[in-house]
Structure 1
């Protein structure tokens, strides 16, 4: 059972009483009469062939309060898109599959490319960005939730708890982030959060000084969680990253645009497991190695926009401070794992810290070489200003794809 401790600069909503999912859904169904709810599912075609998405879809068929589900489909040919439409046809809610590799959406993407407004690389950021745009084009969704399609421990209570703070008519929150413990096969997970984010933020506080942004990020118990919900007007204004810095970038954008008083995190699960990325120690373009670089760059860029001045010497100091902080925390995690009868490989943990320390320098050097790099995708307000009819044509293209 979670505690009720409030720390940091945002509200934490706990799971204290084990309220039934049926009770939550009754309230959400009532709230949805005045505040319609949509869900975004970014998916690779390969996930349709795995056990995680099959269970997710089965659980979603029981959800009574969703008005719209949008599935962003990547890496699918025509035959696979047809299969995906059939696969998701069991959903009782209004839903659409966005065939990102299809000729209609590809042509529209090319239009934006000519204006310098399209995503330049494939990935989750691009998928989510277009799904958000389609939701905005519908003009009938007030709250948008998002979660991944590889959650092995999924149940519909996760979604209910995630959406509740943003849908509730009395609550002030415009954005909510999910959190949970990462445990899989009796092992303590969440390496990037535990071994990179937390000690890096502490190192940055020591080297750069106390900072509201660092305190904000450190307020989140699981800042890399892929589950969040927001009011639709939030989507219009934010510029999400196209790389692995998506989750950190979304938090940074929400903080830039809104008061901390309307931002919350919510306990959505006692256990969470999903597809695990390889460490890819020998290749900085893949797996957790690339993730650590992109996340570090996202934090450095944001600090720079707040006036922090970086140099090669400062990055070396940050790396050294991080390394000591991270090694010290391994003891904490090891003891926590032992007390809960979980396993934790100290050698693997230390190897991860060594990799992340090297990649902090890679991220710092990359930033210094190209400080004007802008991996953020434009806001949909920017797209609407450049091509006012784009979203309506995009929605029509999706409708034609799904009708055929």
Structure 2
């Protein structure tokens, strides 16, 4: 236990707090895909949310038509009012295409759609994943309390220790050493901002409804990095907090294969480099991969010492193999396909909600 402050306000779990927070003025966004259907972790999240009783719960769903009716029935079984936002419905896709926003989809696009709907329904928006096996009724109040006070944006952080080993590999072995390698070469406050977060890739965050309408979003992975870029722009150091959510157990991904960590690294890297461009930073991509590997190697030594100190299993050779795999993602961005802020589009969140509702109603009926 410690109480060290970072460059952003760091709110610690010193007494297992459940802070006072206006949950009745908050909308909670819980993105799901078909793999979450009736899963134990998602069941726990929804049951716990019923105890929290927020003003609204929005579930942006990416699933094929044949699963939508099942999701409706499952979500209706909880003592919770849930708006199911079927993001992969043809009506929603067509609406986006009509406004020139049909270039790809994924978790980021789903969350962006839900942010617009949630910001219309409440004063504050809380976002978290549905796969946390250790989800607690304290999480929403902890994320919400700072933004209901003096901050505009809050980010969760936690320890990823499970099965007697360290997880959070993409953050530990890719994002952190990459940011630090960049920080060694560039004196810029945005890099200081990124490095201040104890878990920058956490999917748990909260913001004011006004900020939710101002942020842009990556269409797939990289959502969290892109979100930090806009949080820095609109909230800055003074308007940002990070919150201790304890110890988290999440689903784990393989390093290779579709939607594996290497694929995620490429998208996170692209999101980061696009964000750097926003702030006038131009990395030297000729030297950056080697500098990244060198920085990552130093961190592997530190993680190995930490694991030994705690009696954890640690495969240093395997971690270095992951670093080598991630190094292929350190390259100049190809394109920037971020979605615009809701304040910059010519349609309303209500249009999305109506399109999704009409499409799902046809299947449920």
Do the structures match in fold with TM over 0.5?
A: yes
1:277 paired with 2:221, answer no
Other-structure match for 2:118: 135
Per-residue deviation, 1:183: 0.8
Other-structure match for 1:57: 46
- Contact 2:131 2:250 (C-alpha < 8 Å) held by counterparts: yes
1:189 counterpart (154, 167, 182): 167
Other-structure match for 1:76: 64
- Contact 1:203 1:321 (C-alpha < 8 Å) held by counterparts: yes
Other-structure match for 1:221: 198
Change (3 A) 1:108 1:298: closer
Other-structure match for 1:112: 96
Measured in 2, the distance between the counterparts of 1:308 and 1:161 equals 34
CA-to-aligned-CA distance 1:87-121 (integer Å, 9 cap, x gap): 1113333321112233xxx2243132132134x22
Question: What is the 5 A alignment of 1:1-400?
Answer: 1=1, 3-8=2-7, 10-19=8-17, 21=18, 24=19, 27-28=20-21, 31-32=22-23, 36-64=25-53, 66-78=54-66, 80-102=67-89, 106-118=90-102, 120-136=103-119, 139-167=120-148, 171-207=149-185, 209-269=186-246, 271-280=247-256, 286-310=259-283, 314-360=284-330, 363-364=331-332, 367=333, 370=334, 373-383=335-345, 386-387=346-347, 390-400=348-358
Change (3 A) 1:91 1:210: same
SS of the residue corresponding to residue 61 of structure 1 reads helix
Change (3 A) 1:352 1:158: same
Measured in 2, the distance between the counterparts of 1:108 and 1:357 equals 36
Per-residue deviation, 1:76: 3.2
TM-score normalised over the length of structure 2: 0.93
- Contact 1:76 1:99 (C-alpha < 8 Å) held by counterparts: no
Measured in 2, the distance between the counterparts of 1:198 and 1:393 equals 39
Bigger Cα Rg: 1
CA-to-aligned-CA distance 1:180-199 (integer Å, 9 cap, x gap): 01111111111111111111
Change (3 A) 1:347 1:112: same
Per-residue deviation, 1:392: 2.9
- Contact 1:61 1:90 (C-alpha < 8 Å) held by counterparts: no
Per-residue deviation, 1:173: 0.7
Measured in 1, the distance between the counterparts of 2:278 and 2:60 equals 32
- Contact 1:243 1:375 (C-alpha < 8 Å) held by counterparts: no
CA-to-aligned-CA distance 1:330-384 (integer Å, 9 cap, x gap): 1110111111121111111110111112321xx33xx3xx4xx22211111122x
Measured in 2, the distance between the counterparts of 1:201 and 1:75 equals 34
Unpaired stretches in structure 1, ≥5 consecutive residues: none
CA-to-aligned-CA distance 1:55-90 (integer Å, 9 cap, x gap): 2122222214x0110111111324x21221221113
Measured in 2, the distance between the counterparts of 1:254 and 1:327 equals 30
- Contact 2:87 2:356 (C-alpha < 8 Å) held by counterparts: no
SS of the residue corresponding to residue 13 of structure 2 reads coil
Quick check: which one's helix share is greater?
1
- Contact 1:96 1:398 (C-alpha < 8 Å) held by counterparts: no
- Contact 2:147 2:207 (C-alpha < 8 Å) held by counterparts: yes
Per-residue deviation, 1:258: 2.3
RMSD of Structure 2 on Structure 1 (CA): 1.9
Measured in 1, the distance between the counterparts of 2:324 and 2:318 equals 10
Measured in 2, the distance between the counterparts of 1:124 and 1:194 equals 22
